[in-house]
């Protein structure tokens, strides 16, 4: 079995100690360590990587030291607008939220989207199969069939949008780290 590993980052670029008090610097470093421990605890208990990622990010979102959740920068209107995305590597399922304003931990909302999107697509496909069967049997109508197809299209659109948002986030991270693929 492969030994688990976890890595985190506190945002884009390098947090410069310049301009921070010793207490602020220590607080930020402590929060990074807490985030690592939260994820590591899940992994060493045999939990899935997705749970470890969510646990680590929640710590960062709850910290005032990072541009995420509680510590996020404000928009022009003086409000938090938060984005989050998460992806399950095994099947590349993704969930994302954007421009949320009243969610304490957007990563939890993104995880809920991930969990629901697979079910939504599966349910939409079942609904479409049922509508097609009814239409072919002469008891369903075109509107029922079109509504079912629209549900499948919407669920697939949400999945593709989440994957696109993750690709953008990955490219931004790679760029911030100074690496090219």
Q: Across residues 113-124, what is the average pLDDT? A: 75
Tell whether the model's pLDDT for residue 174 goes beyond 90. Answer: no
- Residue closest to 116 by CA, chosen among 172, 62, 155, 152: 155
Q: Across residues 67-93, what is the average pLDDT? A: 83
Name the CA radius of gyration of the chain, rounded: 21
User: Which residues on adjacent β-strands are paired with residue 86?
Assistant: 95
* Element of type H or E holding 13: none
- The CB-based long-range contact list for 145-151 (8 Å cut-off, 24+ gap) reads 148/124, 151/124, 151/127
Question: Tokens 């995880």 map to which residue?
Answer: 111
Tell whether the model's pLDDT for residue 173 goes beyond 70. Answer: no
Tell whether the model's pLDDT for residue 28 goes beyond 80. Answer: yes
Ordered by start, the domain boundaries in the chain are 1-73, 74-181
- Higher pLDDT among residues 90 and 177, named by residue: 90
Q: What secondary structure does DSSP assign to 61-90, as a single string?
A: HH-TTSSSGGGPPB-TTS-B-EEEEEEETT
Cα–Cα distance measured from residue 111 to residue 21, given in angstroms and rounded to the nearest whole number? 35
What per-residue confidence (pLDDT) applies to 178? 66
Instruction: Record the pTM.
Output: 0.66
What per-residue confidence (pLDDT) applies to 1? 63
Answer yes or no: are the C-beta atoms of 103 and 109 closer than 8 Å.
yes
């Amino acid at each position: 079995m492969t030994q688990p590993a976890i890595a985190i980052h506190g945002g884009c670029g390098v947090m410069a100690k310049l301009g921070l008090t010793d207490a602020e610097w220590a607080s930020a470093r402590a929060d990074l360590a807490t985030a690592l421990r939260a994820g590591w605890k899940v992994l060493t208990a045999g939990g899935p990587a997705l749970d470890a990622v969510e646990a680590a990010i929640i710590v960062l979102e709850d910290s005032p030291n990072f541009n995420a959740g509680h510590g996020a920068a404000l928009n022009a209107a003086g409000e938090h607008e938060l984005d989050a995305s998460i992806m399950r590597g095994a099947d590349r399922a993704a969930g994302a939220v954007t421009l949320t304003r009243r969610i304490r931990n957007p990563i939890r909302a993104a995880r809920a989207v991930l969990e629901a999107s697979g079910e939504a697509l599966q349910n939409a496909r079942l609904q479409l199969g049922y509508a097609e069967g009814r239409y072919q049997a002469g008891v369903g109508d075109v509107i029922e069939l079109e509504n079912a197809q629209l549900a499948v299209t919407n669920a697939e659109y949400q999945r593709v949008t989440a994957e696109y948002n993750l690709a953008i986030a990955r490219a931004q991270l790679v760029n911030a780290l100074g690496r090219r693929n």
